[in-house]
Amino acid sequence: MSEPISSLAQIPDPKPSGWGAWCLCLVIVAAMGAGGGWLLQQRWLKQPLIQARTLSRSNEQQAVREYQRYLDQHPHDGTVRLELATLLKRRDPDGALHELRKISPKDVPYLDAVRQAAAIALDLGRDYDALEPLLLLAEQRPDDAGVRLALAELRFRARDFEAALESAQRARELNPQLPEAWLVEAEALDELKRSTEMVAPLEAALKIDGEIPQAHLNLAFAYQLVGREEEAYEHAQWFLKRFPQSAAGYRTLALVQRARGLTEEALAAVQQSLKLRPNQLDAMLLEVELLLYLRQTEEAYQRITQAYQLHGAERRVLTLLVRAALLAGHRAESQEWQQRLDRLQATEPDA
Amino acid sequence: MLTLSSGPVIAQAGTPSFLDVDEATLRFRHASPLSPERHLHLFMGSGLGWSDFDRDGDFDLLFCQGAPIEMMAAPDETPALRLWSHDNGRFAESSPSAALTGTAYANGLTIADYDNDGFADVFVTGLFSAALYRNNGDGTFTNQTHAAGITPHGFGAGCCWTDLNADGDLDLIYVRYIVADRKNYPLCSVNYKGKAVAISCNPRKLVGAADSVYHNRGDGVFEDVTAVWGFAAALSRQGLGCVALDLDDNGVTEIYVANDSSPNDLWTREEAGAWSELGLIAGVAVNRFGASEAGMGIAAGDMDGDLRPELFVTNYFNETNTLYRNEGNLSFLDVTQEFGVAAPSRNRLGFGVTLSDFDNDGWSDLLIANGHVQDQLAEVGITNEPFAQLSQLLVNRQGKRFEEASTKAGPFFTKPGVARGTAAADIDGDGRVDVAVLRLNDRAALLKNVTQDAGNWLAVELQGTTSNRDGIGATVIVRSGPQAWRRDRMASASYLSCDSPVLHFGLGAAKTVDSVTVRWPSGRHEVFSAVAVGQKYRFVEGTGIPMPR
């Protein structure tokens, strides 16, 4: 079985604190995909344009032409222009946006057009273009959970995690049955180095839908942070039962086993993770930490040297290189690594 | 007898349990009223220490007292100390005739007999102040600071007595926190939703202050050897807690300083005699991720049973406290995660930490005093970091990992507070170690150890002859069959505090002791035998004969 979603293959950027880096960022891609969808739950079909509408189900190109002919004669019919944009958005999203921009704020479906424009921009990954319409919608429709969720996602992608958190929390207040809102809240908390607070939103998401794999795995991670190791173990097992080939799953299991005090089992789990996907930096670092703890120092030094060759002079790598070299008895090498680390610290001091 | 504030003793067998004595027994209240500008020192608080100052057989309790901000304008170079004398279970504040008359905000203390006259003396640091108090032996003290050649200045923090050059006289480490003075005191605020909210400054954004090292000439005068002994070579950092002990068993004391938001310092003496800072290479400066943390207090001692002392440092909220396992040869490994001390500390801001075998099962436990340095975080939208926090008890499980046992440890651990220094002593001689906790701007807690079914124990007091009289810097190893336990005699511990001079050994089920080996700071190795469990002894250097107390 392959990874459940593409983001499982991603290693998050290293963070100064280290432990926050372990949050797997599983949910955000899935939730992001839903962003446009949430915006488009409302429908606006209104006046009949029988020919165009009939054609739209069989011959899109001809339907577009019919719509455009109608709009040439009725340029201020915003409702029909919105229909045209809807028809265009999959095949010609830029054309759809072009039509939507022609809808005047005085037109009845203006806010629906704004919503549509935001959704298209989000689907296109043009977050900057989506922001303004979303802010307008948030102002005009302050109780719209979908808008808040889309804003949360947008702000998360813009790495404005405080704002993302605020929007996600507002979204789930407005609609507590939105698992995506809870998931984005959890992710934002992790990015804000408040990872121990991820537990509550992840539990809430799973209460709504107990089959969200990413939520199980992230909850395993969050539980081990706060000392609920046995529950962490259960969630890691739940995930691995369904995704037995998940490198991220085994990596999380290794963290959980270490938190349970089972360092040999943790080592076995992280080595399984590395078998499934070699060269993951976080897993390599964890393996080295465990080898050092178990006083397998020479092997640890070899493994961290490999990590250095693969991933370069990163603070966590150099820190472990210094330790492993020293503990393996390579004092001079340790001092050389320390000098490199000192140079790095001088240019990139702690946050 | 000590009076307990929480009714009858209901202790769980096998789990360390404490009860706080009532206010009638100990009334000391720390004074640190917060200023509108939220001056940093008013949050950092103070330490405390145990010693039998009057040699009546009871441990007295010496507190560093705070002061309202208005006192900062008063140019007093003497920090405020308050001595509470212990007599048969009751504590009474000593009269002003004891001559502990300073009024400046006191931060940290270290207690030892620096002049080898048999009476415990005190060095205390404070805000822009410090004082060396010589114990006159008659219940009074004399301020010897200037006569001894010590120059008080700066934002004082931790301090420790230790014999740096093995000449039998205790030298002095005087740690400072940040660069500040009365005219240039850093004040900070944040703008939140258009409103300025005063907060205590983040030390990471402040300049660390240089520490001082004083050599005791043995004639009552100290000389500043900071530069000539090599201590000025390292960066000045935001120092707080400080301990001194022989970490690599080479007979030379190391000095470890916890720095707030910058790498911790580890000083060791090179063969040529100069001192070098080796924190990074030794692995105790930063955590496993290479990040410096907000070091506050320190516990040093063997936690995994290999007779090598570990280092445990308390840190900031959302960091973990950090446990460095001693791998020998002055090399350490961060084993915080593996020992189970990460999760309990993530949502705490740790200050004081006492390492002691509270249930005498043969493994040293951790008592951690917590409390934030910001009281107005909710006003800037941060609602998850409370000012008052629960303190914690972590029980050592056979040297493999620590488990939090706070909920079973007594009422003290269920009431949030803003705790700072901690200091341990067996104040009633029942073989169970008690702990005093200084709480910021609040009544001090005295936690009476009421653990049921505690194991066997041994208590050891040292008296040097060639070495300094207190035996500070000595390492003591107790052996019983295949088991062995180690303690180091230090004159500072925890956060700006000092434990009693008695070394306490929990012996578990061991019913006999085969030998007690003392490695004195003079270099002498001495074995004491014919030692019984459940007893307190004094070991005098060179006699080889244990003296029951």
- CA A261 to chain B, closest CA, distance in angstroms equals 6
Amino acid in the structure at residue B545: I
pLDDT tier at A349, thresholds 50, 70, 90: low
pLDDT digits (tens, 9 = 90+) for B189-242: 999 999 999 999 999 999 999 999 999 999 999 999 999 999 999 889 999 999
> Strand order of the sheet with strand B434-439?
B18-20, B445-449, B434-439, B419-425
φ/ψ of residue B245, rounded to 5:
-165, 165
- Interface membership of B404 toward A (CB under 8 Å): yes
So what's the pLDDT on residue B228? 96
Mean pLDDT for the stretch of residues B451-470: 97
Contacts of A329 in chain B (CB under 8 A): none
- Interface membership of B265 toward A (CB under 8 Å): no
pLDDT tier at B491, thresholds 50, 70, 90: very high
Q: How far apart are CA B62 and CA B110, in angstroms?
A: 10
SS (H, E, C) A172-219: HHHCCCCHHHHHHHHHHHHHCCCHHHHHHHHHHHHHHCCCCHHHHHHH
pLDDT tier at A109, thresholds 50, 70, 90: confident
Which residues of A fall below an 8 Å CB-CB distance to B? 16-19, 193-194, 196-197, 224-227, 229, 258-259, 261, 263, 289, 292-293, 295, 315-316, 318-320, 322-323, 326-327, 334-335, 338, 341-342, 345, 350-351
Percent of chain B whose pLDDT exceeds 90? 90
Q: Which of B261, B331, B400 sits opposite A327 (nearest CB)?
A: B331
- CA A314 to chain B, closest CA, distance in angstroms equals 10
How many Cβ atoms are within 10 Å of A330's Cβ, its own excluded?
Answer: 17
Amino acid in the structure at residue A337: W
So what's the pLDDT on residue A29? 34
Percent of chain A whose pLDDT exceeds 90? 54
- CA A18 to chain B, closest CA, distance in angstroms equals 6
Q: How far apart are CA A61 and CA A236, in angstroms?
A: 50
- Cβ burial B490-506 (10 Å sphere, 16+ → b, else e): bbbbbbbbbbbbbbbbb
For residue B548, give both structure tokens: 């029951």
pLDDT tier at A55, thresholds 50, 70, 90: low
Contacts of B344 in chain A (CB under 8 A): 227
- Under a CB-based contact definition with an 8 Å cutoff, are residues B312 and B243 in contact? no
Cβ pair A318:B290 closer than 8 A? yes
How many Cβ atoms are within 10 Å of A2's Cβ, its own excluded?
Answer: 10
So what's the pLDDT on residue A38? 52
pLDDT tier at A14, thresholds 50, 70, 90: very low
Q: Which of B333, B346, B400 sits opposite A196 (nearest CB)?
A: B346
Cβ pair A289:B288 closer than 8 A? yes
- Under a CB-based contact definition with an 8 Å cutoff, are residues B108 and B156 in contact? yes
So what's the pLDDT on residue B88? 82
Q: Which of B291, B340, B344 sits opposite A261 (nearest CB)?
A: B340
- Interface membership of B190 toward A (CB under 8 Å): no
pLDDT tier at A34, thresholds 50, 70, 90: very low
How many Cβ atoms are within 10 Å of B10's Cβ, its own excluded?
Answer: 11
User: What's the start-to-end Cα distance of chain B, in Å?
Assistant: 20
Mean pLDDT for the stretch of residues A141-165: 92
Cβ pair A322:B280 closer than 8 A? yes
For residue B131, give both structure tokens: 């004082």
Is the pLDDT higher at A325 or at A61? A325
Check residue B22 and report its DSSP letter. P
- Interface membership of B333 toward A (CB under 8 Å): yes
- CA B81 to chain A, closest CA, distance in angstroms equals 37
What DSSP assignment string belongs to B169-222? S-EEEEEE-B---SSS---EEEEETTEEEEEPPPGGGSPBBPPEEEEE-SSS-E
Q: Which of A18, A320, A338 sits opposite B291 (nearest CB)?
A: A18
For residue B57, give both structure tokens: 């057989």
Which of A13, A15, A19 should be substituted to probe chain B, the one whose Cβ sees the most B Cβ atoms within 10 Å?
A: A19
So what's the pLDDT on residue A221? 97
Cβ pair A319:B346 closer than 8 A? no
- Cβ burial A211-237 (10 Å sphere, 16+ → b, else e): ebbbbbbbbbbbbbbbbbbebbbbbbe
- Under a CB-based contact definition with an 8 Å cutoff, are residues B157 and B176 in contact? yes
Size of interface A-B (CB pairs under 8 A): 86
Q: How far apart are CA B360 and CA B431, in angstroms?
A: 8
So what's the pLDDT on residue A39? 54
**From the centroid of its chain, how far is CA B534?**
26
For residue B318, give both structure tokens: 């959302």
- Interface membership of B281 toward A (CB under 8 Å): yes
pLDDT digits (tens, 9 = 90+) for B338-386: 999 999 999 999 999 999 999 999 999 999 999 999 999 999 988 889 9
Cβ pair B384:A323 closer than 8 A? no
Q: Would you say residue A17 has pLDDT above 50?
A: no
Classify the complex by whether its ipTM is higher than 0.90, answering yes or no.
yes
Mean of the per-residue pLDDT values for chain A?
84
Mean pLDDT for the stretch of residues A115-119: 86
Mean pLDDT for the stretch of residues B521-529: 96
- CA B24 to chain A, closest CA, distance in angstroms equals 38
- Interface membership of B234 toward A (CB under 8 Å): no
What DSSP assignment string belongs to B223-282? EE-TTTTTGGGSPPB-EEEEEEE-SSSSS--EEEEEEBTS--EEEEE-TTS-EEE-HHHH
Question: Nearest Cα to A214, choosing from A226, A204, A202?
Answer: A202
Residue carrying structure tokens 């050092």: A292
Contacts of A258 in chain B (CB under 8 A): 337-338
Contacts of B261 in chain A (CB under 8 A): 350
Q: Which of B291, B384, B401 sits opposite A16 (nearest CB)?
A: B291
- Interface membership of B343 toward A (CB under 8 Å): yes
pLDDT digits (tens, 9 = 90+) for A122-145: 888 888 888 888 888 888 888 999
